[in-house]
Structure 1
Amino acid sequence: MAFQDLLDQVGGLGRFQIIQMAFLLIYNAMAQTHTLLENFTAVILGHRCWVHILDNATVSDNDTGTLSQEALLRISIPLDSNLRPDKCHRFIHPQWQLLHMNGTFSNMSEVDTEPCMDGWVYDRSSFLSTTVTEWDLVCESQSLNSVSKFFFMAGMLVGNIVYGTLSDRFGRRLLLTWCLLQLAVADTCATFAPTFLVYCSLRFLAGMSTSTILTNAILLIVEWTSPKYQAMGTTMAVCATSFGNILLGSLAFAIRNWHTLQLVLSIPMFFFFISSRYELPFVFLFHLGINVFLVQVLLGVVKLPANYLSLWALKHRGHRISIFFFMSMMGITLLATIFVPSEMSTVCMILTTLGGGICFASITCSLTQANELLPTVIRATAFGIIGVCGSLGAAVAPLLMTLETYAEPLPWIIYAASCIFTSLVVFLLPETRNHQLPDSLQDIENGGKGSRKTELEDPSIKVTHF
């Protein structure tokens, strides 16, 4: 007798499954906050060079006469091509003559300027500190800010490969428990990292564990429920990440110091690690120029109705048509952003929130379809491969934004085209709505003939098989 058949007899959603699901949903929500953590802890703040007459606390007002801060800034910092104070250069000597001129010399920035030899002054109106201010990841070092994000995504990729295989071999629960501990230790230690290299290494370890928590939590929910409740379980698992988004956006708004924020989100993981031993058997917001705190919360809020819509579609319209609808709509939404100027911040925010909701719904549908296509014996490994593809997409997406230098709409066209293409390819997959989860490769081979469905419906075959 297959495990799913046995589960149907003892109850597909009893007290055990409900308690287990509750804890797994909490793990999913908290793991999601670590996935998006650097949206707030690695923000590049406004900055300029430190200059003696402007920023030295020992310089008195008498030393500079009655000059205002704006005047001192003008004689100390050159203007860039957009006629704004340059972020990475300063005048070697104060240019007093600029106080009596309406314009600037075109060649002055080449002759009389130098890099920021004494550090930078940061605009701390939005954030008190970030990893950027911690290690001065600006100007010639600004590319290092992307390195830390790359390390985290690379960790997710490696985690999907390594831990996905180990989950199939040693069990979901064991690897989930280990990854909760690894995430707690890695991101707690990252808070106190003495160097940027150590910080990146710890974020790599955090990425490895985060992907496994998200994957194994969904697998445990699905595999311990009957087919009748599997779509609901997957939807609730994805919905849990929306609470993670809301929690992260709310805490980041209240806590503007990156050390404190990371610590607040990391310490609870130790308690979840302990509970798992006794209760158990997924760049563009700094780009759109809109309120990152508000959008983070809105994305969390919109995920709830979006996933309810996806659950309704999965139940009443089939899995393939649901994926096709949400993926094609996401492509259309991305194309719409091309025609909205950045000055229309409200419209940009609406499109971003709508696109996020559609994206969440498509993820729910895709995870449900994948769960029902893959046999139990290789499900975690296959989900690891799927996670690798997701991590590669997450790593490539920011790089595609560099194509804006050639044509501003080009990245968005690529994103939209890939969504629309994917929505069409899904029709090559079989429809799995209301089908049993396959336990073995043999079930996959016999699935087209409906052998398992026949076994469940025909008592004589059941007796013969037993």
Structure 2
Amino acid sequence: MKDYDESSAFLGQWGCFQQVVFFVLAASTIPNGSGVFSIVFLADIPRHHCLVPDANLTEDWLNAVIPIEVTDGEEERSSCSRYRLDVVKNLSSQGLIPGRDINLTQLEQESCVDGWSYSKDIYQSTIVSEFDLVCSEQWKQPFTSTVIFLGVLIGSFISGQLSDRFGRKTVLFATMAVQTIFTFVQIFSSSWLVLCVLLFIAGMGQISNYVSGFVLGIEILTGSVRVLFSSMGVCLGYAVGYMMLPLFAYYLRNWKSLLLALSLPGLAYIPLWWFIPESPRWLLSQGRVEEAEAIVRKAARWNKVEAPQVIFEKCSSHVDEVKTQQKEHHNVFSLLRTNNIRNTTLILGLVWFTLSIGYFGLSLNTSRLHADPYLSCFISAAVEIPAYIACWLALQYIPRRVSTICVLLLGGVSLFLIQLIPQSLQSLSVALEMLGKFGITCGSSLIYSYTAELYPTGLRNTATGTCTTLARVGSCIAPFLLQLSYLNKYLPYIILGTLYVVSAFAALFLPESFRRPLPETIQQMHKRGSLKWPIISRKQHSKPGLPFETKL
């Protein structure tokens, strides 16, 4: 809100108060990066075959009791069957040699009635080896990932409204506690079903605390620092957690030890309750002017500047209006109440959905980068660092709408081109996929800021949470989209590329928010007008520094 920015301008932009808020909130997203993709290691499928109990078999029969199958042109031991053990015992006792005296293809096979033997070359244990999620139960392995994203989806939908109702700080720390506690409790799961329930609850806290921390930061910070925070602060914290995940997983190859390592850092955030304030903007939107002033005066002491006797005198004319609006307790239906808000919400929902399905689809498909899962995960995470830097530069110097369209087209065109690359240039195909992820990651960071800048304070967290919910629908669909590669290797890329081009066209009709104050009321949002074409009028072209917009 312009009046708020002017009223708090005496604080400066980068004092001690802003530095604490910036770095603490950025650090709060580190567990999100390591937690959301931990399932890559927790639920990975080790090489396995039927367990052969001690049956006094000869060495030849011990090596031959597991059938050989051809997969992708390579011979490997069967994962889900063995030759009937009673028959093998009888043949072994007779001194017959497999392959010479006995044609193995004529022997009857049976399922793994005695369980499985899992390779420990990469992992000591995973939830797959713990609960035998293989063969007839293998459908449970990808469904486990879906359970997490379903929890994230529900958490995104609920947390936004809770944050607008009860405050950013309260929801931030509550969801951080949910994430930490239920990540730790997963260690004691007695069955796969219990584990899924705990994963679902932990998933609810995953994105919820990210969104609350993001909104809290952009409402407290101002100017270029707010842009830096929204584009690089929280995102780099997330990327750092993502890059730390393969390091933890490499040294802790037991799934329970990995969960313990991922949950313990959450305890370090308990003392931060006394350092992170509530959002003064949110307090003002609730009519709690005295509490907002108390926070700003505390910030002034931290920054060693003198606060005026009356801080929010300029915005006092808005208090009654805003307070009246908040009595309505805006919810998700408020996003569909008028044509302007409804159209903006629908377009943003499409863009969020597209960015999410592409981001998680490419992130879960990184096994093609390298045979080592730890290195593959690290490369996928490392690509995000330059993407966030590029996003920060775009937020600083390029209008939001132009930036959004460019990154969508970059992601879409890169994925379309993959199908044109011959098999002999596989490395170029991988490079294009990573270029696509670069654009998608940049867009995923950019869209948070764009969304938050379009909606008023009373609706900001609800709008962000709702759009995040739509994005999580995309993340739930992403694993199933990858399965379409069995029908056609390039079909997932074609579908994703089409979605990105369509979303880029739809983004043409979004309002611009570049270098404009955050709206505090729905009326201020409406003053930005109806959806606009990105056409530069001659009159506006003569005014440098202003957003280029004309009405339809």
TM-score band by shorter chain is 0.7 to 0.9
1:414 to 483, 495, 498: 495
Residues 141 and 302 of structure 1: is their aligned pair in 2 closer, same or farther, counting only changes over 3 Å? same
The aligned residue for residue 119 of structure 2 is 123
Shift of 1:391: 0.8
Equivalence for 2:458: 377
- Whichever residue aligns with residue 460 of structure 2, its letter is R
TM-score (norm 2): 0.74
- Secondary structure of 2:383 counterpart: helix
Matched, 1:135 2:131: yes
**1:348 to partner: Cα distance:** 5.2
Matches within 5 A, 1:27-426: 27-52=28-53, 56=54, 59=56, 63-64=57-58, 67=60, 72-79=62-69, 83-92=75-84, 93-94=87-88, 98-100=98-100, 105=105, 108=106, 112-236=108-232, 237-272=234-269, 274-281=270-277, 283-286=364-367, 290-340=371-421, 346-347=427-428, 349-426=430-507
1:251 CA drift (Å)? 1.3
- Root-mean-square deviation over aligned CA pairs: 2.4
Q: 2-side partners of 1:98 and 1:15: how far apart? A: 77
Contact 1:334 1:416 in 2 (8 A): yes
The whole-number CA distance in structure 1 between the counterparts of 2:68 and 2:246 is 36
CA distance in 2, matches of 1:368, 1:292: 32
Moved more, 406-415 or 285-294: 285-294
Q: Which moved more, 1:155-164 or 1:275-284?
A: 275-284
Deviations 1:195-252, CA, capped at 9 Å, x for gaps: 1111111111111111111111111111111243322111121122111111112111
Query: Within 2, Cα distance between the matches of 1:413 and 1:88?
Result: 34
Residue 166 of structure 1, CA deviation: 0.5
* 1:4 has 2:26 as partner: no
Partner of 2:525: helix, strand, or coil? helix
Task: Note the alpha carbon deviations across 1:263-321, whole angstroms, 9 max, x for none.
Answer: 0010111221x123112117212466643212322233332222211222222221111
| Distance in structure 1 (CA, Å) of the matches to 2:166 and 2:110 | 59
Aligned pair count reads 433
Q: For 1:262 and 1:228, how far apart are their aligned partners in 2?
A: 37
Query: 1:267 is aligned with what amino acid?
Result: L
Q: Which runs of 5+ in 1 are unaligned?
A: 450-466
Letter in 2 for 1:315: Q
Tell me, in whole angstroms, the C-alpha distance in 1 between the residues paired with 2:518 and 2:6: 10
Residue number in structure 2 paired with 1:453: none
Identity among equivalent pairs (%): 24
Q: Equivalents in 2 of 1:342, 1:100: separation in Å?
A: 40
User: Structure 1 residues 2-11 or 244-253, which shifts more?
Assistant: 2-11
1:29 shift after superposition: 1.4
- What's the CA shift for 1:414? 0.4
Name whichever of 4-13 and 327-336 sits farther off: 4-13
Report the residue type matching 1:100 in the other structure: R
Decide whether the 8 Å contact of 1:338 with 1:409 is kept in 2. yes
In structure 2, the CA distance between the partners of 1:345 and 1:245, relative to structure 1 (3 Å rule), is: farther
Amino acid at match of 1:210: Q
Q: Which residue of 1 aligns with 2:315?
A: none
* Structure 2 unaligned spans of 5+: 278-355, 357-363, 531-552
Closer/same/farther in 2, CA of residues 292 and 332 from structure 1, 3 Å limit:
farther
Q: What is the SS of the residue equivalent to 2:8?
A: helix
Seen in structure 2, the aligned counterparts of structure 1 residues 280 and 118 have a Cα distance that, compared at 3 Å, is same
SS in 1 for 2:49: strand
Tell me if the contact between 2:456 and 2:518 (Cα under 8 Å) persists in the aligned partners.
yes
Match of 1:459 in 2: none
TM-score by length of 1: 0.87
Q: Hey, what's the Cα distance between the residues in 1 that align with 2:219 and 2:136? A: 50
Question: Relative to 1, partners in 2 of residues 1:73 and 1:335: Cα closer, same or farther, differing over 3 Å?
Answer: farther
